[in-house]
Amino acid sequence: MAQRTAVFGSPSGLHSRPAATFARAAAASKHTVTLAAGDTSVDARSILALLQLGVKTGDEVALEVDGPEADRVADELRALLERDLDAA
- For the entire predicted model, the pTM comes to 0.93
- Among the listed residues 4, 13, 15, 27, the single catalytic one is 15
The answer to whether 15 is a known catalytic residue is yes
| Confidence tier at 85 by pLDDT (50, 70, 90) | confident
Backbone angles phi, psi at 10, to 5 degrees: -70, 130
Strand runs labelled E in the chain = 2-7, 32-37, 40-43, 60-66
In the chain, % of residues over pLDDT 70: 99
